Structure 1
Amino acid sequence: MIDTTTSGFRVAIVGPSRFGIGEPYAGGLEAHTAGLVGILHERGHHLRVFAGPEGDIHGLPVGVTPIVARTFDHLFTGRRDTSHPAGFCRHESDRYRTLVDGLRRCPDIDVVHNNSLHPAVVDGDPGDGSFVHVLHCPPFPKLRAAHRRLRERSRGRHVIAVSKALASLWDGVATDVIGNGIDLDTWLDRSPGPRAGAVWAGRIVEEKAPHLAIRAARLAGLPIRLAGPIGDHRYFDRLVRPELGADAVWLGSLGAADL
């Protein structure tokens, strides 16, 4: 593995495409990618960052090259995080393939850090150890198949799982486990007085189940505050909005400081 505590590496970071990586973050993958960019930049590495759709403002110390066009936003209304409309899938796959092909031909890149969840980036890995892939989620068929193909053709691959439990779900795909890092100073509550209650933060979609978090808080006798963008309005209106009240308040989409 490359020792990134030594400055000066030329790193291409390939992030998620559907959402940008600026605050307020659309989700954990976007926040993780932005944090990775920040710390590598602080350590003196030379970064090229690819993430999100055209037109997004990221607020990072380096420029971000978009991956996909903005024109597909209307297709995502009411869809799950794990499903994408067909037109977007074709467009996204083409863009990732073009991006990876360009990175493979680029002489001034030492390592490609794949922080996306797209199989085209895995399939584009030349197998020479120059790509690092991070597993952020349980396996889904297309990404799992791509990693199995990579495992068959490359013994020198680098595939990181963010926990031992996640590595076990991927059944031999991960080559290393590196836990997700959190800057605890960012999350230190400096407000005076005691705290009582629960907080749920994330993108509001059914598979993340904030409506169950509300019910769990009530069973525990705790008020709860929820924060995050609405990813599925039909789900929000059907299962979350009816649960809101004095003891369950949705605060909208917040940046890290407000969280």
Structure 2
Amino acid sequence: MKILIVAGPFVSLREPYNGGTEAFIVEHANELVRLGHTVDVIAKDADEKNLFQVIEFAESPLSMKDNSYRPCTEERGQQHYQSLQYGAFDVSSYDVIHYNSYIPEIYAIGALFKTPGVLTLHLPPTERFILMYKFFIKHAPVVPIGISGRMSEQWGTFLGRDVEVILNGIPIERWKLNTRNAEGYLLWSGRIAKEKNVEAAIQLANHLQKPLKIVGAIFDEAYFRDYVLPQLNERIEYISHVTQQQLSKIVAGASAFLATATWEEPFGLSTVEMLASGLPIVGFNTAIPPELRDKKVSIAVDSHDWRDLIEPLAIAKNAEPEACRAFAASFDLAKSTAAYVKVYERIAKKPKK
């Protein structure tokens, strides 16, 4: 099949990834190519090692800044210009279009196309995305897909229809299985923002007098300045944003991974990556979806109180690396991609209206 995957014309697919969506797009596209499909991805750029072709939309040589009629910065103006180029792009040769974008203009234009599509719902419903996706699904021949049971349930309520579930996956073999390091440091990884709640991990580490390494891009500068930076010291360390290979090396010295987000994680690729590396997970129910929970290797508590993680952390200390990896194997990339291919084949058989 010939498949077009839409990330966004100003979305970079280079490591370190901006988030789980970018990681999913890259790994899924590469796996599709390995299966013999032709895959193009609309994005700003990607690492040269990838197997798929990147379709780039250029910025305008003219200024896109507007201080009067529709005030916007040069950057935002160029983003609008690039997004609208999708309307001039010929999609007729593709069997399926797979949407993974958060850009309104993409969906406004995509609603005009008759090529069958898949829309992966990577984020929980918000007012903006509900309106955007309801409009798109009403006008385009597209099938929505939830990346976890709770995403399917939440979106099904707002879309007024059943939403299929295809759980995310990772290339398990790429994550090195580490030997047991029960006395190692605690590890937290994710974007630095209030809803990710790295504060809870810091409070837990301070209470236990254990080292903590914090990894991730700073999305909220004020939050980092006020709630994270003042607590950094020789024991509480911020490492910044890293590639998957760099993260794998950091994981090797850890004893457990802390998942402390107070918002409902749609899936949690980082949780699977840590488990694949042999590292047990301890965290809040909001941070660990039901599919990723296990009483021994991925323990979730119905709480947002860091104190409630003390006992589960003691249990996780006994988790064997092999058991962690065995649980992670349920979320292998090949399984996820195969499920998407079945959907592609099903919708591609339907005649175009």
The offset of 1:41, in angstroms, is 1.6
After TM superposition, the structure 1 = structure 2 runs for residues 64-79 of structure 1, keeping only pairs within 5 Å, are 64-67=54-57, 69=59
Aligned position for 1:235: 223
Query: Is the contact between residue 15 and residue 49 of structure 1 (CA under 8 Å) also seen in structure 2?
Result: yes
Is the partner of 1:257 in helix, strand or coil? helix
Bigger mean CA offset, 59-68 vs 157-166? 59-68
Give the whole-Å Cα distance in 1 for the aligned partners of 2:100 and 2:24: 9
Q: Deviations over 1:188-219 (max 9, x none)?
A: 43356445343222232333332333224434
Query: Is the contact between residue 5 and residue 42 of structure 2 (CA under 8 Å) also seen in structure 1?
Result: yes
Aligned position for 2:234: 246
Give the whole-Å Cα distance in 2 for the aligned partners of 1:86 and 1:227: 33
- 2:232 is equivalent to residue 225 of structure 1: no
The CA RMSD over aligned residues, in Å, is 3.0
- Structure of greater Rg: 2
Counterpart code for 1:38: N
Distance 1:235 1:67, change over 3 A: farther
Query: Is the contact between residue 8 and residue 83 of structure 2 (CA under 8 Å) also seen in structure 1?
Result: no
1:113 to 98, 110, 113: 98
Give the whole-Å Cα distance in 1 for the aligned partners of 2:60 and 2:81: 15
1:204 to 192, 215, 231: 192
Aligned position for 1:82: none
Query: Is the contact between residue 130 and residue 158 of structure 2 (CA under 8 Å) also seen in structure 1?
Result: no
Aligned position for 1:181: 169
Give the whole-Å Cα distance in 1 for the aligned partners of 2:17 and 2:58: 18
Counterpart code for 1:37: A
Query: Is the contact between residue 59 and residue 82 of structure 2 (CA under 8 Å) also seen in structure 1?
Result: no
- 2:20 is equivalent to residue 28 of structure 1: yes
After TM superposition, the structure 1 = structure 2 runs for residues 134-173 of structure 1, keeping only pairs within 5 Å, are 134-153=120-139, 157-170=142-155, 171-173=157-159
- 2:88 is equivalent to residue 96 of structure 1: no
After TM superposition, the structure 1 = structure 2 runs for residues 1-80 of structure 1, keeping only pairs within 5 Å, are 9-16=1-8, 18-52=10-44, 56=45, 58-59=47-48, 60-67=50-57, 69=59
Q: Deviations over 1:230-259 (max 9, x none)?
A: 333333222211121233211222111221
Counterpart code for 1:166: M
Distance 1:210 1:112, change over 3 A: same
Distance 1:94 1:138, change over 3 A: farther
Q: Deviations over 1:132-160 (max 9, x none)?
A: 11111112223211222234446x53011
Give the whole-Å Cα distance in 2 for the aligned partners of 1:204 and 1:235: 8
Bigger mean CA offset, 57-66 vs 163-172? 57-66
Give the whole-Å Cα distance in 2 for the aligned partners of 1:193 and 1:236: 29
Bigger mean CA offset, 199-208 vs 236-245? 199-208
Query: Is the contact between residue 13 and residue 112 of structure 1 (CA under 8 Å) also seen in structure 2?
Result: yes
Bigger mean CA offset, 38-47 vs 18-27? 18-27
Is the partner of 2:244 in helix, strand or coil? coil
Is the partner of 2:13 in helix, strand or coil? coil
Query: Is the contact between residue 2 and residue 38 of structure 2 (CA under 8 Å) also seen in structure 1?
Result: yes
Q: Deviations over 1:20-46 (max 9, x none)?
A: 111121221111111112111211211
1:133 to 100, 119, 128: 119
Aligned length, in residue pairs:
232
Is the partner of 1:37 in helix, strand or coil? helix
Distance 1:98 1:118, change over 3 A: same
Give the whole-Å Cα distance in 2 for the aligned partners of 1:238 and 1:86: 29
Distance 1:237 1:190, change over 3 A: same
TM-score (norm. length: structure 1): 0.75
Aligned position for 1:4: none
Distance 1:216 1:15, change over 3 A: farther
